[in-house]
Amino acid sequence: MVTEPHINLAPLERANDRLGRFVARYAEIDEDHPDHDVFHTAVVKGFEFTYELAFNAIRRYVADYVLSPGRVGQMRIPDILRAAAKNGLYESSEEWLIFRQRRNATSHEYLDEDAIDQLVELAPEFNNAVNSLLVALRDRLE
């Protein structure tokens, strides 16, 4: 008996929901509020964690439904992101490449305040993009 591959979207849904709450709370508080830095860091870490889960779902979808696990295992990450866009998971691979670039800039050079601020500014757009990705994945996996 052959079973269909399964992609568990629940962790990504929870992480993205949490990121959305962090983004909303961060937007509400003043810069001089004692929790400002806490929510700033929460947005950064939430973005990084949600990005990892989103990319894993994208890679798994491309491996299981578009190409093959062996082929995807030998592809560069930008090519995986492009394959997902080409197959309709999202409109623009460029947008996802920017998300990756911002995530890499903060996780590898955490002391770069400009990179961190750029990621925080991008977080609402990323949160919306992940919501759209989840809809696309649910539509294709049901």
Please state the φ and ψ torsions of residue 4, each to the nearest 5 degrees.
-70, 145
Measured over all CA atoms, what is the biggest interatomic distance in the chain, rounded to whole angstroms?
Answer: 61
Superfamily of domain 10-141: Nucleotidyltransferases  domain 2 (1.20.120.330)
Spans of all domains in the chain: 10-141
pLDDT along the chain (142 residues), means of 10: 68 97 94 89 94 95 84 88 92 92 77 80 96 95 84
SS3 46: helix
- Whole-model pTM? 0.90
3-state DSSP of 93-104: HHHHHHHHHHHH
